[in-house]
Amino acid sequence: MWLNKIDGHLREFHGALWAAIDELAANNGLTACGLARRSGLDLTTFNPSKRHHFHSDRPRFPTFETLNRVLCATNTTWPEFIEMVMAKMP
């Protein structure tokens, strides 16, 4: 039972994290692809199809390095980003 609860929270956090990344892109007049380009990442890094593992539908999370590149590219601080993520949590 507790494992299902953790899995539910993890999925909520996963959705909030990706929504915050999408918001960062939009706030900077970019698409997900444009945000990846500006961050020096592969253009498909933030594609919706890459947000879950292909075979198992398990959530995929961006690495710390990826997030750090995005924050640097958008001139966003970690506290600002964390606040964005938390505001999107149910």
Within a domain: residue 58? yes
DSSP 8-state secondary structure symbol assigned to residue 67: H
Q: How many CB atoms lie within 10 A of CB 17?
A: 21
Within a domain: residue 3? no
Cα 63 to chain centroid, rounded: 9
Within a domain: residue 87? yes
Q: Give the mean model confidence (pLDDT) for residues 61-76.
A: 97
Q: Would you call 85 helix, strand, or coil by DSSP?
A: helix
Alpha carbons 5 and 1: distance in angstroms, whole number: 7
CATH code for the domain in which residue 36 is found: 1.10.260
Domain with 89 in it: 28-90
Q: Give the model's pLDDT for residue 55.
A: 82
Domain count within the chain: 1
pLDDT at 6 over 80: no
- For 7-66, the pLDDT digits (tens) are 778 889 999 999 999 999 999 999 999 999 999 999 999 999 899 988 887 899 999 999
Cβ contact 11:83 at 8 Å: no
